[in-house]
Amino acid sequence: MKATGEVQTVVVCRKAVNTDLDKLAEIIHGYAEKGIMLPRSKEVLKYLLDTFVVAEADGELVGCGSLCQLGKDLVEIRSLGITDGFKGQGIGRMLVERLMEMSREMGISKVMALTYEVEFFKRVGFTVVNKEIFPEKVWTDCINCKKQHCCDEIAVLKQLV
């Protein structure tokens, strides 16, 4: 995943495990400090650990993402983040593809996200939709969010085949 002439970095996506908690918390905290991701405590992350996938580059955890089931046919991709120095290398795409694979395995046909990275999601096959079509999301996370009444995230959706 590095430029031509450099040593190739091997990136692997896998399910998160307990030893990933500190790095997961660090990645999410970095995004939350910028106001672009909801914060998650280590306790919450431990509880949600089985919903996370991580990306490792040569053994170093460099990205994460999770799925949250919102309904019988709808999941949300959330907590999707890549550490600085590894952005733009296709790792986000790998994580999203793994999360969509998990959605298919669960028999779920719709995957949504709320994002500031609309162009990224468009490149992986999502389309922009009106976020009000997701009352499941509004009543799970949005109701507790400080941006609830002034949300500037964009909703994207992908229908799985």
Q: Does 5 reside within a domain?
A: no
pLDDT band at 7; cut points 50, 70, 90 = low
Task: Give mean pLDDT, residues 38-55.
Answer: 94
* Per-residue confidence (pLDDT) for residue 107, from 0 to 100: 95
Mapping DSSP to helix (H, G, I), strand (E, B) and coil, where does residue 59 land? coil
43 and 25 in contact (C-beta within 8 Å)? no
Q: Does 3 reside within a domain?
A: no
Q: Does 21 reside within a domain?
A: yes
Q: Does 1 reside within a domain?
A: no
Task: Give mean pLDDT, residues 95-122.
Answer: 94
Give just the sign of the alpha carbon dihedral 67, 69, 74, 78: negative
The set of residues, in sequence order, having a beta carbon less than 8 Å from that of 68 and lying 6+ positions away, is: 51, 75, 76, 78, 140, 141
Cα 125 from chain centroid? 15
Task: Give mean pLDDT, residues 79-98.
Answer: 94
Q: What is the DSSP letter of 16?
A: -
Length of the chain: 161
At residue 71, does pLDDT exceed 80?
yes
At residue 149, does pLDDT exceed 90?
no
CATH classification of the domain holding 107? 3.40.630.30
Q: Which residue did the predictor score with more confidence, 136 or 129?
A: 129
Average pLDDT, the chain: 87
Task: Give mean pLDDT, residues 138-147.
Answer: 52
* Per-residue confidence (pLDDT) for residue 139, from 0 to 100: 46
| Count of structural domains within the chain | 1
CA 135/CA 76 separation, integer angstroms: 12
* Per-residue confidence (pLDDT) for residue 9, from 0 to 100: 79
Residues of the domain holding 134: 11-159
Q: Does 2 reside within a domain?
A: no
| Helices (H) then strands (E): counts for the chain | 5, 7
CA 40/CA 64 separation, integer angstroms: 13
